[in-house]
Structure 1
Amino acid sequence: MDAGDYLLYFVYVFSTIFVIVNPIEATMVYVTLTIGLPPLEKSRIYKRATLVAFIIAILFAMAGDLVLRLFGITTDSLSVAGGVLLFLVAIDMLRGVHQQKKVTEEELKDANSREDISVFPLATPLLTGPGAITTVVVLMGSAESIAEKSIVILGIALTYTVTLIVLKFSDYIDRVLGITGVMVLNRVMGLILGAVAVNFAAVGAWNIYQSMAGG
């Protein structure tokens, strides 16, 4: 791979992780849960939530292959399962289902009674849920070289850096875009995520077929 190939791979990795983390839509939940809190407390919450989400994503990216081996699961099998999962999430995004798969109504009610919402439900499952975890594990598992694995780590880091900035200006974004603007962007990202999901499933299924045919 030359420099151009690495750049295209980085764009693919970053866009894949970004659309599943979806910090733009996450602002809707964040703003709702932090209404009435002082600015200093809001700052502490989004910083801690983003840091915890980033750590969770990195841990699964680094240890995901070990976990798969422990349960006897191949990366290709996870790629197919993850593709199906991401496709279902993409369908909800295209239909405009508001964070139903990430944070349920029961979880939101539970969050309202908590003193600290930065870890739950913001860090997980909002910013790093099953979809994000599956995505980083599959990307790391399919990376064939140290350079590609480093690009995946960089993509994760950049995604959560952007997420930190988005949450910092969440009130402004909420005022400018409103629910309509956020949902339009959400549908666009849902379309991208759907394409990524199909690619995950297709590549995984093809590799499994080749493995079985070769055996």
Structure 2
Amino acid sequence: MDNLITFSITVFTGFFAITNPISNMTVFVSLTQGMDKESKRDINKRANIIAFIIVTVFVLLGKFIFELFNISIPAFKITGGILIFFIGFEMLQSKQSNVKSIKNVNIDEDIAVSPLAIPILAGPGTIVTAMNFVSNVEPVHIALVIGIFMFMSILTYLTFRLSDLIVKLVGTNVIKVIGKIMGLIIAIIGTGMVIQGIKIAFNLMS
């Protein structure tokens, strides 16, 4: 039971850091600027549902994908860890991708799918993190990962829905500081994945 609680806390921390709803809500505000409340709610809901479906598919089909492309768990953990580390490192450097820097958006464009669902909410870092949590684990762990990401999707939805109010109350500077903290956590998670991959590859697991 204690192991499941520890696992759940680790998964939640990883997902919260990589999806970063507090930092990403400023992106949502920018992308939906000029839209009415109903349109914002619709885009918010669809983006989170699509992101949840994408991550769930990769979680459930992770082992099949490994077998299909002959991917070993150590290779995945090392490569995925390096990818996640650099995502966190860029966040620490306050760098943003071109997707997150969009300021002018056509309201008729389906931004719920792209860029919100992909790659902001369900980008490579999120997918790699999710698949790492379910690699070589029991079905109960897979169910926990899906349930926790569902909770994260609901939390992100609520954060986006209250985004205008939160930005006014908290301010962009505090949000940037939170983004840097999340970047540090992501970099640490990435480093941990690399260490796990090396231990498994060389049979160093204790």
Aligned to 1:116: 110
1:14–1:158 CA contact under 8 A, matched in 2: no
Match of 2:203 among 205, 210, 215: 210
1:96 to 2:94 alignment: yes
Deviation for aligned residue 1:41 = 0.6
> Alignment length, in residue pairs?
204
Once residues 76 and 105 of structure 2 are traced to their aligned partners in structure 1, the CA distance between those partners, rounded to angstroms, is 31
Q: Greater share of helix residues, 1 or 2? A: 1
Which amino acid is 2:2 matched to? G
Query: Structure 1: 5+ residue runs without aligned partners?
Result: none
Aligned to 2:121: 127
1:111–1:120 CA contact under 8 A, matched in 2: no
1:138-169 CA distances to partner (integer Å, 9 max, x unpaired)?
A: 11114x21222221112211111111111111
Matches within 5 A, 1:16-27: 16-27=14-25
Once residues 29 and 49 of structure 1 are traced to their aligned partners in structure 2, the CA distance between those partners, rounded to angstroms, is 13
Aligned to 1:40: 38
Q: TM-score, normalised by structure 1?
A: 0.89
Distance 1:114 1:65, change over 3 A: farther
Query: Structure 2: 5+ residue runs without aligned partners?
Result: none
Deviation for aligned residue 1:109 = 7.0
Matches within 5 A, 1:28-177: 28-98=26-96, 100=97, 103=99, 108=102, 111-112=105-106, 114-142=108-136, 144-177=137-170
Deviation for aligned residue 1:112 = 3.6
RMSD: 1.8
Once residues 90 and 22 of structure 1 are traced to their aligned partners in structure 2, the CA distance between those partners, rounded to angstroms, is 11
Larger deviation: 168-177 or 200-209? Answer: 168-177
Secondary structure of 1:141's counterpart equals coil
- Percent of residue pairs bearing the same amino acid type: 30
Aligned to 1:187: 180
